[in-house]
Amino acid sequence: MSPNVTLSFDSLSRVDASARFGFGSCPQYLTSISGPIEVRLAAEQPSQATIEVHVRPLTNVPGTESKTVAVILKEAIQMEVIVEANPRTLIQFVVQALVPTPKVTDELVAAMINCCTLSLLNAGSIPMRGVICAVSVARVSSVNGEESMYKIQPVEEHPSRIQATGCFAFLFSDSYSSNTYSSSCVWTSWRSLHPGSLKAVEESELARARDAAQKPAREVWERMKSLVEEGERVKRKETWIKDASHSTEAKKMDVGEEDVNMEI
Amino acid sequence: MRPPSPSIPEKDFLFAALKQGLRLDGREFLETRPVTLTFGPELGWVECSLGKTRVLAQVDAKMVKPPPERPFEGFITIHSELSPMASSEFELGRPSEEEVTITRMLDKVIRRSDVVDKESLCILSGQRVWHLRLNVHCLSDSGNLLDCVCLAGIVALKHFRRPDVEVVGEEVTVHPPTFRAPIPLSLHHNPYCFTFAFFSDTSLNPVLDPNLLEQRLNGGLMSIALNAQRELCVVQKSGGVPLEPGDILKIVNVAALKAKDLDAFVESRLQEDWEGRKIEIR
């Protein structure tokens, strides 16, 4: 089940980077990031960068829910950004909702986390230890009520059939091996919607839900990677076109050659 | 910490260029930046950009009980707060002078100049009226946020369609958009705002639609809001270099011409967008 995502880099002029992300066909969030920049004396930390997240809904003043989500995002970002690299600075995130969000669901939290990650990738000025991608999972009982399956992004499901739901965030990093990018779950909000002895959350169930979320999260990560690659390929093509106008024979370089010729 | 732009070399360069009749981005003195309007999937959602300055506006409506002193009218509230996304200089919760100006101008241009016909927002007098909410988010401040904000607000109001309501006696039925086509708001007129920047050196002519550097180095700003029918709604000049009456009239004439062009552009964009949507099937 690959999630249908819309993602793009944006070009806001007064911040260091911005990106849009949404599950579905239109972007749900626009995140901008500025950093590392000057920090207020009160918020300064002597050995690490301060991370500030502002979540702004489309309608209404930001309220308690926005504050809760901002705390969640800050935790997720702290895990992927190497904050010790830039002490006494500020990394400022502003997450702007592009669609009305009367209630912040797990899907929206996942979208926000992915959006922040995407804007970090666009910035390039902030050292990261990995890339965090998130998806939301729900355990849905089937129509006859006996079996239950794990579904990604279950927006259309009948609410009474959803037994437990949550968002899983995975950190993709190549710190462990160079061939494959391993992922580890760094944050979750898995909870049962019917608290009580019969339908409470069990450890094995949590593990199953997490395994169900791993593959879609990897697919989201692949999409982010291909977005970055696209941007790089367009830039290289442009320089190739400029060079070709000077040289007599146009050499067509494909991606493999480019990697070989790329200098580090 | 690096002191905020502009630096002295930037200032000198700008003034020297203006003395020669050149603007740093190559525009004429009375030329605005290109306007682009992007409409969202939902009605009433528009992202407006004036060059690199970008603003997002969204309108939504809900039914509420009207206040007792005005039982026959709906009302409109405008919410605009600058976030650090527009620029890291803006702090949340501490409105800068520019933010206060924007809030007040939006209020004057959209609410006090009676853009929306409030009586048409009444459903059942004394009990149910439409409460329109206009949310404006500044995404990027590259100079002249004010014009962009006003334009986004007006276009969002023009783009929005409210659900069709049927009143039978005391019963109110709201028809969802899937059953009956939503109807547009009834607007009295469409004001557009134009900001001119003056400089302390009075030999320099005013520039229309200042970009960030010009706005920072201005010696006075004058904003004029008017509609395409040459009716002035708001003339705002708060402080700055004193102006001759002749200069002001010249500026008003320039703004009137620009308003006509802008109005034609907005209408054509709205028409294009409307044709691309399937709102009603006949």
Find the DSSP H helices in chain A: 64-80, 106-123, 203-246, 255-261
**A94/A115 Cα distance (integer angstroms):** 10
Tell me whether residues B41 and A26 touch, CB distance under 8 A.
yes
Could you count the other beta carbons within 10 Å of the beta carbon of residue A8? 15
A226 dihedral zone (left: phi>0; alpha: psi -120 to 50; beta): alpha
Find the DSSP H helices in A98-185: 106-123
Lookup: tokens for A87: 């002490």
**B26/B158 Cα distance (integer angstroms):** 32
Cβ-nearest to B139 among A12, A38, A60? A12
Summarize the confidence of residues A38-46 as an average pLDDT: 91
Interface mutation vs chain B, best among A6, A10, A11, A13, most B CBs within 10 Å? A13
Cβ-nearest to B140 among A14, A92, A99? A14
B67, B118 Cβ separation under 8 angstroms? no
Cis peptide before B182 (omega within 30 of 0): no
CA terminus-to-terminus distance, chain A: 37
B126, B115 Cβ separation under 8 angstroms? no
Which secondary-structure segment (H or E) carries A36? strand A29-37
Tell me whether residues A98 and B60 touch, CB distance under 8 A.
no
CA A246 to the chain's CA centroid:
42
A56, A97 Cβ separation under 8 angstroms? yes
pLDDT band, very low/low/confident/very high, at A250 (cuts 50, 70, 90): very low
CA terminus-to-terminus distance, chain B: 63
Cβ-nearest to B58 among A12, A38, A58? A58
Which chain B residues are Cβ-neighbours of A59 within 8 angstroms? Answer: 58, 60, 79, 133, 135
A111, A29 Cβ separation under 8 angstroms? yes
Give the range of the structural domain holding residue A21, as residue numbers without chain letter.
5-263
pLDDT band, very low/low/confident/very high, at A258 (cuts 50, 70, 90): very low
CA A28 to the chain's CA centroid:
12
What is the ipTM metric for this complex?
A: 0.89
**How close B137 gets to chain A, by Cα (Å)?**
8
A30 touches chain B (CB under 8 A): yes
Question: Which pLDDT value is given to residue A154?
Answer: 56
Interface mutation vs chain B, best among A6, A14, A96, most B CBs within 10 Å? A14
A191, A165 Cβ separation under 8 angstroms? yes
A13 touches chain B (CB under 8 A): yes
Summarize the confidence of residues A113-124 as an average pLDDT: 94
**How close A92 gets to chain B, by Cα (Å)?**
8
Question: Which pLDDT value is given to residue A146?
Answer: 45
Cβ-nearest to B135 among A14, A15, A59? A59
**What is the tally of structural domains in chain A?**
1
Percent of chain A at pLDDT > 70 equals 77
Angle at the Cα of B90 from the Cα atoms of A10 and A76, rounded to 5 degrees: 55
As to burial, measured by CB atoms within 10 angstroms (0-12 exposed, 13-18 middle, 19+ buried), residue A238 is: exposed
Q: What residue of B is the nearest CA neighbor of A89?
A: B1
Quote the crossing angle between the two packed helices A64-80 and A106-123, to the nearest 10°.
50
Q: Is the pLDDT of residue A236 over 70?
A: yes
Find the DSSP H helices in B44-121: 97-106
A7, A50 Cβ separation under 8 angstroms? no
A113 touches chain B (CB under 8 A): no
Which chain A residues are Cβ-neighbours of B142 within 8 angstroms? Answer: 13-14
Question: Which pLDDT value is given to residue B203?
Answer: 87
Q: Is the pLDDT of residue A123 over 60?
A: yes
**A225/A118 Cα distance (integer angstroms):** 10
**How close B9 gets to chain A, by Cα (Å)?**
21
Pairing of β B128-140 and β B75-81: parallel
Tens digit of pLDDT per residue, chain B (282 long)?
A: 566 778 999 999 999 999 999 999 999 999 999 999 999 888 999 999 999 999 999 999 999 999 999 899 999 999 998 889 998 888 888 888 889 999 999 999 999 999 999 999 999 888 899 999 999 999 999 999 999 999 999 999 999 999 998 888 888 888 888 888 889 999 999 999 999 999 988 888 999 999 999 999 988 999 999 999 999 999 999 888 898 899 999 999 999 999 999 999 999 999 999 888 876 555
CA A151 to the chain's CA centroid:
19
**A173/B2 Cα distance (integer angstroms):** 35
Q: What is the pLDDT of residues A4-23, one digit of tens each?
A: 899 999 899 999 999 999 99
Lookup: tokens for B232: 């002035």
A77 touches chain B (CB under 8 A): no
- Taken in order A43, A47, A49, A54, the sign of the CA dihedral is negative
**B211/B25 Cα distance (integer angstroms):** 9
A to B CB pairs, distance under 8 Å: 65
The Cα diameter of chain A in Å comes to 77
Question: Which pLDDT value is given to residue B109?
Answer: 93
pLDDT band, very low/low/confident/very high, at A165 (cuts 50, 70, 90): confident
Lookup: tokens for A181: 């990018």
Q: What residue of A is the nearest CA neighbor of B133?
A: A59
Residues of B with CB under 8 A from a CB of A: 1-2, 40-42, 45, 52-54, 56, 58, 60, 79, 81, 83-88, 92, 133, 135, 137, 139-142
SS3 B15: helix
Q: Is the pLDDT of residue A177 over 70?
A: no
Tell me whether residues A59 and B133 touch, CB distance under 8 A.
yes
Cβ-nearest to A14 among B42, B87, B92? B87
Q: What residue of A is the nearest CA neighbor of B60?
A: A59
**How close A123 gets to chain B, by Cα (Å)?**
14
Q: What is the pLDDT of residues A55-106, one digit of tens each?
A: 999 998 899 999 999 999 999 999 999 999 999 999 999 999 999 988 888 8
A47 touches chain B (CB under 8 A): no
CATH number at residue A22: 3.30.230.70
B221, B249 Cβ separation under 8 angstroms? no
Closest CA to A98 of A170, A30, A175, A14: A30
Q: What residue of A is the nearest CA neighbor of B41?
A: A26
Question: Which pLDDT value is given to residue A178?
Answer: 45
CA B164 to the chain's CA centroid:
27
Tell me whether residues A12 and B140 touch, CB distance under 8 A.
yes
B66, B73 Cβ separation under 8 angstroms? yes
Which chain A residues are Cβ-neighbours of B83 within 8 angstroms? Answer: 54, 56, 94, 96
